[in-house]
């Protein structure tokens, strides 16, 4: 694998789990993937086309072309991490973890919001909203990937601690604000409000 995360497609297709696929199959997946998770580029004549994942790596990729977000103004107004009920007690206690990856993934909105293509699975049950400026002020870096996902390595332990949580919202089966103190949930019948112009979802403070 190169420093930019690209590997020869030819070598990938020689692996046992991919031998039933063709280069055309891979190109079709890259072009039609709604979350734009992958990138293809021409390689040298001796290697042929190259492919990489835009984020989600378990290995350090030093030249992944991530855009640093170094000021509060550069951060999206919303930073949301999607998860599931089974993980929520641990997240509430310890914070968000890289979970073996190089970064924690955040979305600049919820899955149904306009323009949001990646960063959160559509079937997530809980959304955790992050106070990005506070984390940034504590020296935690943020980046934007090629497909619009916001990435952070967290602190030196690979964690984004609960003190950076602004709010948490149950997404399914109904919308409810969740207590960050682990107490009884408070109802949020309408969920986060949209602006009158149909723009980005606004979380009540």
pLDDT (tens digit, 9 = 90+) per residue, 50-95?
777 765 544 455 445 688 999 999 999 999 999 999 999 999 999 9
The kind and range of the H/E element at 88 are helix 88-94
Q: Is the pLDDT score of 135 beyond 70? A: yes
Regarding predicted confidence, which is higher, 41 or 130? 130
The distance between the two most distant Cα atoms of the chain, rounded to a whole number of Å, is: 62
Q: What is the pLDDT of residue 191?
A: 41
- Average pLDDT over the chain, rounded to whole? 78
Q: What does the chain come to in residues?
A: 205
Measured CA distances, 155 to 87, 120, 160, 188, 189 (Å): 20, 21, 6, 32, 35
* pTM exceeds 0.75: no
Q: Is the pLDDT score of 183 beyond 70? A: no
Residue 24 CA, chain-centre distance (Å), reads: 27
């Amino acid at each position: 694998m190169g420093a930019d995360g690209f590997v020869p497609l030819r070598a990938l297709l020689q692996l046992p789990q991919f031998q039933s696929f063709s280069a055309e199959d891979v190109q079709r997946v890259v072009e039609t993937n709604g979350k734009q998770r992958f990138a293809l580029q021409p390689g040298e004549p001796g290697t042929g086309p190259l492919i990489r994942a835009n984020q989600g790596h378990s290995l350090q990729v030093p030249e992944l072309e991530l855009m640093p977000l170094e000021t509060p103004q550069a951060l999206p107004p919303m930073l949301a991490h999607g998860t599931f009920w089974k993980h929520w007690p641990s997240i509430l206690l310890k914070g968000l973890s890289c979970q073996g990856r190089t970064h924690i993934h955040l979305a600049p909105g919820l899955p149904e919001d306009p323009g949001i293509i990646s960063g959160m699975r559509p079937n997530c049950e809980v959304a955790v909203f992050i106070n990005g400026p506070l984390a940034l002020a504590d020296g935690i870096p943020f980046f934007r990937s090629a497909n619009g996902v916001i990435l952070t390595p967290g602190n030196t332990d690979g964690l984004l601690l609960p003190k950076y949580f602004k709010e948490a919202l149950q997404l399914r089966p109904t919308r409810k604000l969740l207590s960050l103190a682990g107490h009884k949930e408070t109802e949020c019948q309408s969920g986060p409000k949209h602006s009158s112009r149909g723009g980005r979802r606004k979380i009540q403070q």
